[in-house]
Chains A and B, each alone.
Chain A
């Protein structure tokens, strides 16, 4: 544990701006406030808090929530087998593994493709609402949840990679072949939106409220 300086206060309250890219602290009282600042160490754009963090994050998670519907309802993969085509959604893929008793793999796909995007959308909404309504309890848990959302987001790409590999490796002409289906685009968009949302959100706002 590090020790908090004398009284509990933030860098912003004390007039220090922390660079989000390299962690450098600069004294905001001594610099003009009307020009965008470049970090003296790494040259990133420095500000007390990320600009328009809350509205941008809201926009991205609402977009993700809308795209999540076609991503799950439409088929994501098509398998041709001896002249007949079979379309499957993300959930069909999960059930396929459960039916063939590959519970571990089924669970991995379910968590990565369905639970993780859902958790990110719901989790970020809870965090944003608690800033809006100044809910002060459980801030530590919410910060931990945000760190988890940041960490786990990229794992949603799993299913897209599986489809890419299956389409390349299972390609036996008229006998059997695998293809992507429309939900792949929607699903990829969900992943990108939620990952950028985690990036535009500034967790320090939770503690300011």
Chain B
């Protein structure tokens, strides 16, 4: 394992009035925008910053709601299908198990990660990070956790799953009668909460709040 260098404060560029465009690395002057407008890079048009108000509070509220609905959304039956005097129902979890029973293990793993594990881990991290920022409870792992949550944003795919569910409903309704179960409504709610965390989340606000929390908590320990 290579050694990591933790830079002392004097090497930090936070004092510099610049930021770099994540899309093309153009060095830009940092400007403070109080309006809700998006700021674009003049060279490659990547969005550099988008001011979002009360990001931490909103993320805390939305992730709490998402976590509360998570279990019924994943484990409760979505639909009941009636055909030939028989009925069949299933949940998101059952759909994952069906690939397992058919011995498609690669797809099973991918289904488990994208529809069950990652959405839960991401919501849990956002919940604990925003809660700890609110109650000012510092722990070293917060930085690693928040980085992980950002990576999981694209790998948690409940929104794609919802469209797949609608496609399946259109496919099935032609050949059988179906009724919506409680899991369906919980799942739709989970998808909306997951999308809402993404739109309320402004990473820069979290990073600077985390940095500030770290600075103040290390100061208190020294005193």
| Assembled-state Cα–Cα distance A21/B111 (Å) | 26
Q: 8 Å CB contacts to B: which residues of A130-168?
A: 139-140, 143-144, 147, 150, 153-155, 157-162, 164-168
Across the interface, B207 reaches (CB within 8 A) one of A41, A143, A158, A165, namely: A41
Q: Which residues of A contact B111 (CB under 8 A)?
A: 160-161, 164
Write the chain B residue with the least CB distance to A36: B2
A2 engages B41 (CB within 8 Å) = yes
| Assembled-state Cα–Cα distance A208/B157 (Å) | 33
* Total chain B interface residues with beta-carbon distance under 8 A: 82
Candidate in B48, B84, B104 with the most chain A CB atoms within 10 angstroms: B104
Q: Nearest Cβ distance between residue B219 and chain A, in whole angstroms?
A: 16
Q: 8 Å CB contacts to A: which residues of B1-33?
A: 2-7, 9-14, 16, 18-20, 22-29, 31
Q: Which residues of A contact B163 (CB under 8 A)?
A: 108, 155, 158
Q: Nearest Cβ distance between residue B49 and chain A, in whole angstroms?
A: 8
A25 engages B4 (CB within 8 Å) = no
Answer yes or no: B64 CB below 8 A from chain A CBs. Answer: no
Candidate in A38, A42, A179, A203 with the most chain B CB atoms within 10 angstroms: A42
| Assembled-state Cα–Cα distance A186/B9 (Å) | 49
B40 engages A2 (CB within 8 Å) = yes
Interface stretch among A27-35, A58-66, A84-92, A117-125? Answer: A27-35
A105-B167, A161-B164 given; 9 more Cβ-contact pairs under 8 Å: A2-B41, A14-B27, A40-B7, A42-B210, A143-B44, A162-B171, A164-B164, A166-B172, A167-B102
Sorted from nearest, which 7 A-B pairs have the closest CB atoms? Answer: A161-B164, A11-B20, A168-B90, A18-B20, A25-B13, A164-B95, A38-B4
